[in-house]
A and B are shown apart, each in its own frame.
Chain A
Amino acid sequence: MALRRTYVRSMDGWWRRDPFFIHYMAREATAVFVVAYALILLAGVIRLSQGEAAFGEWLEGLANPWSIAFHVALCAIFAYHTWSWFRIMPKTMPPVVVGGRRLPGAAITALGLAAAAIASAAFVAFVAWLAS
């Protein structure tokens, strides 16, 4: 049996074969950046607990041009995460019935994106209020 070499189709790069799978993998890949951002914040909290000088070093690190560029990219990746999260939401949540009719998927996506826009605007407004 060991001598039989049956052809087994390679699975290498399977996700590059179909745009649907490319979107799937792009959506999954955002997780790496969500983790990276959480670790940056965790480092900030730890530096904060070590005193003013330590926290100042953390802030200085963030002002590095590479860090700024990374965060600009992060911002775009999080926006993609938001878009993809609400795009698959109709498939991941139980059906919503309004007035005896099932709410269409596009409506759920639109509501989610609107909620994200409102929450983000409210958050930025809150930070601006803190700063004023």
Chain B
Amino acid sequence: MKRSNQPVFWVLFGAGGMLSALLGAALVFVTGIAAPLHWLPTRTMGYEGVLAFCRNGAGKAFVFAVISLFLWHGAHRIYHSLHDLGLHTGMVAKAACYGLAAAATILAAATLLQLGF
């Protein structure tokens, strides 16, 4: 019997869903509201601060996990919702959704590694 690849996508979906459920709103508040409104000092959310955070091993892993898992979570959900909206595009939708998540994962990993340690 051919093994299904669904468990892999489901685990990524679940991990991203859990991470975004635990921290999503707080993350949006910090990066999208508090930082641009200068509620945080410039050195924290400015170039130097963010670069230092992304050069730290744990910081790098955190940023990578957020970007990649959020995308795998969203891609999986959108892919399965297309069917509910009456769009039965099959492999095209699957390739587009998971392809976006995979491409963003590779791009995020490459960029974060390029920043150095």
Query: Is A96 an interface position by the 8 A CB rule?
Result: no
- Seen from chain B, the residues whose Cβ lies within 8 Å of a Cβ on chain A are 14, 16-18, 20-37, 40-41, 44-47, 49-51, 53-54, 63, 66-68, 70-71, 73-78, 80-81, 84, 86, 100, 104, 107-108, 111-112, 114-115
B44 engages A116 (CB within 8 Å): no
Query: Is A6 an interface position by the 8 A CB rule?
Result: no
- Seen from chain A, the residues whose Cβ lies within 8 Å of a Cβ on chain B are 11-12, 15, 25, 28-32, 34-35, 37-42, 44-46, 48-49, 52, 55-56, 59, 62-63, 67-68, 70-72, 74-75, 78-79, 81-82, 85-86, 92, 112, 115-116, 119-121, 123-124, 127, 130-131
Closest CB of chain A to B102's CB: distance in Å?
A: 13
Write out the residue numbers on chain A whose beta carbons fall within 8 Å of the beta carbon of B84. 15, 25, 28
Name the one of A39, A49, A127 contacting B104, with C-beta atoms under 8 angstroms: A39
B28 engages A38 (CB within 8 Å): no
Given contacts A32-B78, A48-B51, contact A38 B30 (CB under 8 A): no
B40 engages A78 (CB within 8 Å): no
Closest CB of chain A to B105's CB: distance in Å?
A: 10
A45 engages B111 (CB within 8 Å): yes
Given contacts A40-B32, A41-B70, could you give 17 more A-B pairs where the C-beta distance is less than 8 Å? A12-B86, A28-B77, A31-B76, A34-B74, A34-B77, A35-B74, A45-B54, A48-B51, A49-B114, A67-B36, A71-B32, A85-B18, A85-B20, A115-B22, A116-B23, A127-B34, A130-B53
Identify which of A25, A67, A79 gathers the most chain B CB atoms within 10 Å of its CB. A79
